[in-house]
Amino acid sequence: MKSGQRESAPTPGLPEEYLSRMRVDLSSAGETPADFERFLSSFDEPPVHSLQLNTLRGADRSGLPFSLSDPPIPWNPDGFYYEETDDNRPGRHPLHDAGAFYIQEASAMLPARMLLSADNDSSRHLRVLDLCAAPGGKSVQLALTMRGQGLLVSNEIHPARAKILSQNIERMGIRNAIVLNESPERLAAAFPAFFDRILVDAPCSGEGMFRKNPEAIREWSPDAVRLCAERQRTILRAAADMLAPGGRLVYSTCTFAPAEDEEQIASFLADHPDFTPEKQEKLLPHRIHGEGHFSALLLREGTVPIPDAGRFSAGIARSGRAGKGAGSSQAGIPGKALAEEIRVWLSSLLCDPVCIDFDPARLILFGDHLYLVPPCLPDLHGLRVLRPGLHLADIRPNRKENRIEPAHALSHALSPSQVFRCAELTDDEAAAFLNGQTLRPDRLIHAGDVDGTAAGYVLMCCRGFSLGWARAGAGMLKNRYPKGIRTAG
């Protein structure tokens, strides 16, 4: 069970075996019988709502049309609580689709914060792995802390969940991430001692989510806890093989079971004497404003130079297999003529020439899909790749005109001030755009000498955040928002 699951009906009765164990576990941790009663009472309280601001896109609580908590969540200065009402529903506002924020359970924000420090890690070219990343909240938080520097590898073993992960990476406008759909064992074989930081948000029995997701109660059993613990041991072993000397690893779950938490860490440390514990926290719902979570920070002995751009290869490694997100064909490198065509096309689209770190040596094609990969892209040969970097464009080789179409991901990596033409939409117009409707807004904004009436692509925006592309022509803006993610309305 991973945090971020849907909410359901009021919590049904808790299993007696679970209650008996929790009574003993809390007593062993110094909790009193009154504390246990408070723990039980927490299940009668409504779930807590919270979100993470997208600081990469310049999101600020004062610029959002929602009531957010003041102060922020204690362990995340960019995370905020909110009360969900008919008039205050961030998840249904166009800014959610614009990637201005990510709705994430408050306690689930702790592991990424424990792994990366905004003060010490935001300017380093780190290699970071989120091993069990779907649906993507922790990857997003890691990317925000990294501020576009270094490499983020977000992996998910289940194909359907990996697709959701890839969509969330795209929605949030993250450029330095690659998304993989692989098993931990195959990744360990591909990346021995490669990563500086690893997050293992392990699949678990979900006890910390009982209040928010009662389905987890129905799936719980002592056998389920044992099976989860066995799977977690396998995942942790693979993660250890991928961590570089001097690197840090955070192991987290959304459960209270000692077999999956404290005992799991103790067993791992016994088998890996080159690791030492640095920090360990268990969040309990009667102690904090949020659901249950466990996090442990481990350090691998050894020293490595402070990571910088010089550690990374500037070349592109070809991937032997590409997932559906990147295309079904072999990866290839565009020729000089196509690379120059792309450069000219970008210069006609963007009024800020440096907002995209364009480098022909970092272009890669998956079928008709063109990506700008991170400068630190490792060898991905033989791995299932859903997203090898920033999806820049789609190439239509059979067309004489408009051969290059801007990708939806590119729109979310840009701000209105960086393009020649954009249209600022009202909230209602933005909702209509997300629903696929054709618009005739009278707020078309263009920079310099660009003809605002000429045919071409326009960045559609709401409250200063980009939503997607439309194509101007015949006095209208033809909607180019992807059909697969359009909202109902």
Which residues are tagged catalytic? 254
Neighbours of 28 (CB within 10 A): 9
Provide the 8-state DSSP code for 272: -
3-class secondary-structure state, position 373: coil
Distances (CA, A) of 465 to 173, 302, 349, 489: 11, 44, 17, 21
Cβ within 8 Å of residue 19, ≥6 positions away:
40
Tokens of 169: 């990476």
Q: What does the angle CA 249 – CA 166 – CA 293 come to, to the nearest 5 degrees?
A: 40
Q: From start to end of 139-215, where are the E strands? A: 151-155, 177-180, 195-201
Pairing of the two strands 293-300 and 390-395: unpaired
CA distance linking residue 203 with residue 226, whole number of Å: 12
* CA-to-CA separations, 203 to 92, 110, 111, 142, 475, in angstroms, rounded: 28, 16, 14, 19, 52
Helix (H) or strand (E) holding 235: helix 222-242
Residues 6+ apart with CB under 8 A from 232: 202, 203, 204, 253, 260, 264
- Measured distance CA(241)–CA(394) in Å, rounded: 37
Quick one: tokens of 4?
A: 């971020």
Which residue stretches of 397-471 are H helix? Answer: 408-412, 427-434
Helix segments in 350-464, DSSP class H:
408-412, 427-434
CA 193-197-200 angle, 5° bins:
95
Name residue, tokens 């002592």: 222
Give residues with Cβ within 8 angstroms of 172, minimum separation 6. 54, 56, 57, 99, 102, 136, 140, 143, 412
Neighbours of 230 (CB within 10 A): 10
Instruction: Judge if the upstream peptide bond of residue 71 is cis by omega within 30 degrees of 0.
Output: yes
What's the token pair of residue 152?
Answer: 């983020």
